A and B are shown apart, each in its own frame.
Chain A
């Protein structure tokens, strides 16, 4: 039971990094970055590539992945956002989809379509903690993601750059009229968002492998997390991501946790990944109908 919980928490915290980046860009430029899922995939392959060059654990590769991905995020802003910034937000949807497709094909050309694995953060294998056996990688993912989520909070709430990032997200023209170079701030937001997606890629690419077409799945997860959590809400994105992962991992494992369920007719059909995905989308629809502002939906003003 606890083992399953640790696994879903690990998956959820990686999703949380991805969803966080998605929300930061959403708030900064009021546009959806559909390349966010492909940035996770790119981060996975960057980790794979560094892993081939340097035989070191993933945690050592993490800073390198963050830097490379931040540069990719900066480039994404330059090609997919700035040329279109005075166009309707839908233009940015399309340009980021285009960048996502380019990343996919680039990864395919460089690494091929076979699943690849990045090195584990510290070490593979299992560890016994107070009587339960859990995977080392899952614990490491949770720890790294927690540190990164805390770092994002401190950066945004406690630093001068964070104040400028939030002010720009809330009223760009006013921020500029107060002397803030909003284009730099927006470029920094893209860099941070891509770095966080890339970190998620590194975290996931050991347990779940990485293939060039992974992005579509991840962007859907981010999108659902943000809708469930509340469009534009940063804590909502984190909670939404954790809920999704909990659901994805817990539902197929229910018969293990509650042995009585396994005897039910159709149990293997009901408690499966497929049904979990279907129910997840149904849950999304229910949220959209019943509580369109999401769990953390508040007045628009509070969104940053």
Chain B
């Protein structure tokens, strides 16, 4: 398989952002890759660096065969769909306007409404009136309107009930089967591993583990790693 995204030795270390100390990672076309790790491990920083929203100190990012550089808008147009932590839907735009504002040529509202039927009923509601779950669906749908090759999803489970989280993550399978690769940053590692093909474990800015998401060994290590990070295994 060709790597759609290939990150080599990425170092980010500026200001208040969590630093990354040499992260390497690959995402293949049509694949769902989970990026798991505790709060502060650098997951959001990695996604923001991919979008060009934080400066990179060193390392190389190849996307679709060429280096990924330039301002965020040009990266979005090259095929990165960004769904940020906290959703950040445009509060004063309606659901439909939120989707249309991100639309690339050939994008269709119907595709998004089919994927997330609740949005279709709320199409004229302003963003600020939506529930957390609706906002998350809208943020994912909005990223898809740009017809990305790779969807970057930052903590979609944040603030959602376990049921809603499962429903949302289950949608990622449908998205990936349309040929869109997904890089899913999640604190909720158990849920992320359920839906992903492969996973990387990030800890304090380093990739410390990776493997098939179905691998029981990896799952075991992730579980223990998270428990120890929370200081719960000492007793």
Contact = CB atoms under 8 A, between A and B. Distances in A.
Interface of A: 160, 163-164, 166-167, 170-171, 173-182, 299, 301-304
Interface of B: 51, 53, 71-73, 76-77, 82, 84, 88, 90-93, 97-98, 100-102, 104, 126-128, 142-143, 146
Contacts of B53: 173, 177
A-B residue pairs, 6 tightest by C-beta: A301-B91, A179-B76, A301-B128, A178-B102, A304-B92, A176-B72
10 contacts: A163-B100, A174-B90, A177-B73, A177-B82, A177-B84, A178-B73, A178-B142, A181-B73, A301-B127, A302-B91
- Chain A contact residues: helix, strand, loop or mixed: helix
Contact of B128 (A166, A182, A299): A299
Contacts of B88: 171, 174
Contacts of B51: 177
A173 B84 CA distance: 11
Given A299-B128, A301-B128, A302-B128, A180 B90 contact: no
A175 B104 CA distance: 13
Given A163-B101, A174-B84, A302-B128, 13 more contacts: A163-B97, A171-B90, A174-B90, A175-B101, A176-B71, A177-B53, A178-B73, A178-B82, A179-B73, A179-B77, A180-B73, A302-B126, A304-B92
Contacts of A163: 93, 97, 100-101
B92 A180 contact: no
A216 B72 CA distance: 39
B104 A179 contact: yes
Contacts of B104: 179
A223 to B, nearest CB: 23
> Most chain-A CB neighbours within 10 Å: which of B76, B101, B146?
B101
A218 to B, nearest CB: 28
A303 B92 contact: yes
Contacts of A176: 71-73, 76
B76 A178 contact: yes
A178 B100 CA distance: 11
A245 to B, nearest CB: 28
B92 A301 contact: yes
Contacts of B128: 299, 301-302
Contacts of B126: 301-302
